[in-house]
């Protein structure tokens, strides 16, 4: 994919003004955009629309963003979709709950359209316009390909949300180094993204649930490193 018009974005928010604002700005940028006002509506059309990126409000009636995200992540046809939460809430528990549900990113309102578009453009370029052999990492039974965002463990494909993928790929690529939580936030999330250090712990826990306990080592008082550990 090299055309922005082929890149589909689904916006889920119960505030019509936000839907109109984001839809206008993203379409001006060249993306294909669809909007819905509830999680219930989203679940009805998401399989057919097959978005590459989803902007999802947390506070919605009937089915809130957390519940919607969990249901979206269970749909195999959009398993690689990038999900960004939009919320006016800045409490740490909301952020942790969002990542626990399967979010890739988290943006607080009021939304700055140009900053959001810049982030989406960066994701589009990294995900769909580069093919590079250096974006492949393989250690023993674990193989990661950042060209296609696929992860193979013991010959089987496993699904990782984008931020979990990026975190594991970064640790794997720099396996000789130990990284603190703050360092991982800077390198994986970026310096301009507001997330708490505990977010790293949440993603590490979810990675271990999917790939096992034998690839990421905790260095007490310091942080984490990629290391193939001997199975007990």
Average pLDDT, the chain: 88
The pLDDT tens digits of the residues spanning 59-81 come to 898 899 999 999 999 888 888 88
Are residues 221 and 139 part of one domain? yes
In a domain, 213, yes or no: yes
Are residues 114 and 186 part of one domain? no
Predicted confidence at residue 79, as pLDDT, reads 80
Are residues 199 and 100 part of one domain? no
Confidence bin at 31 (pLDDT 50/70/90): very high
- 3-class secondary structure per residue, the chain: CCCHHHCEEEEECCCHHHHHHHHHHHHHCCCEEEEECCHHHHHHHHHHHCCCEEEEECCCCCCCHHHHHHHHHCCHHHCCCEEEEEECCCCHHHHHHHHHHCCCEEEECCCCHHHHHHHHHHHHHHHHCCCCHHHEEEECCEEEECCCCEEEECCEEECCCHHHHHHHHHHHHCCCCCECHHHHHHHHHCCCCCCCCHHHHHHHHHHHHHHCCCCEEEECCCEEEECCCCCC
If one counts the domains in the chain, the total is 2
Predicted confidence at residue 142, as pLDDT, reads 94
In a domain, 12, yes or no: yes
Are residues 169 and 201 part of one domain? yes
CB 5 within 8 A of CB 30: yes
Average pLDDT over residues 48-64: 92
Q: For position 203, which CATH number holds?
A: 1.10.10.10
Average pLDDT over residues 90-103: 80
Last residue of a domain, one of 86, 110, 128: 128
pTM reported for the whole predicted model: 0.64
Predicted confidence at residue 111, as pLDDT, reads 87
In a domain, 231, yes or no: no
Last residue of a domain, one of 82, 98, 128: 128
More reliable by pLDDT, 130 or 97: 97
CA-wise closest residue to 174 among 125, 139, 203: 139
In a domain, 73, yes or no: yes
Are residues 219 and 175 part of one domain? yes
Segments forming the whole domain that contains residue 21: 4-128
Distance CA 170, CA 180 (A): 13
Predicted confidence at residue 132, as pLDDT, reads 55
Predicted confidence at residue 197, as pLDDT, reads 79
pLDDT at residue 231 greater than cutoff 80: no
pLDDT over 70, % of the chain: 91
Are residues 35 and 83 part of one domain? yes
Confidence bin at 91 (pLDDT 50/70/90): low
Last residue of a domain, one of 128, 153, 179: 128
Are residues 122 and 8 part of one domain? yes
Are residues 174 and 90 part of one domain? no
pLDDT at residue 41 greater than cutoff 80: yes
The pLDDT tens digits of the residues spanning 149-189 come to 889 999 999 989 888 999 999 999 998 799 999 999 989 98
The pLDDT tens digits of the residues spanning 100-134 come to 888 888 888 888 888 899 989 888 877 766 555 56
Distance CA 15, CA 86 (A): 11
pLDDT over 90, % of the chain: 50
Distance CA 47, CA 221 (A): 44
CA-wise closest residue to 128 among 49, 52, 25: 52
């Amino acid at each position: 994919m090299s055309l922005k018009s082929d890149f589909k974005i689904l916006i889920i928010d119960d505030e019509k003004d936000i839907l109109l604002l984001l839809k206008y700005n993203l379409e001006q940028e060249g993306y294909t955009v669809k909007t819905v006002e509830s999680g219930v509506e989203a679940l009805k059309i998401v399989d057919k629309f097959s978005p590459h990126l989803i902007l999802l409000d947390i506070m919605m009636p009937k089915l809130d963003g957390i519940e919607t995200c969990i249901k979206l992540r269970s749909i195999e046809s959009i398993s690689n979709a990038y999900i960004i939460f939009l919320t006016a809430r800045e409490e740490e528990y909301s952020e942790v709950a969002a990542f626990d549900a399967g979010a890739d990113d988290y943006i607080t309102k009021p939304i700055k359209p140009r900053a959001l578009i810049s982030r989406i453009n960066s994701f589009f370029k990294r995900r769909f316009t580069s093919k590079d052999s250096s974006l492949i990492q393989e250690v023993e039974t674990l193989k990661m390909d950042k060209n296609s965002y696929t992860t193979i463990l013991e010959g089987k494909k496993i699904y990782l949300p984008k931020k979990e993928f990026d975190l594991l790929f970064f640790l794997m690529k720099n396996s000789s180094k130990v990284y603190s939580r703050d360092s991982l936030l800077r390198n994986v999330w970026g310096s301009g993204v507001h997330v708490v250090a505990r977010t790293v712990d949440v993603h590490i826990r979810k990675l271990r649930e999917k790939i096992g306990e034998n690839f990421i080592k905790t260095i007490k008082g310091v942080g984490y490193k990629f290391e193939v550990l001997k199975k007990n």
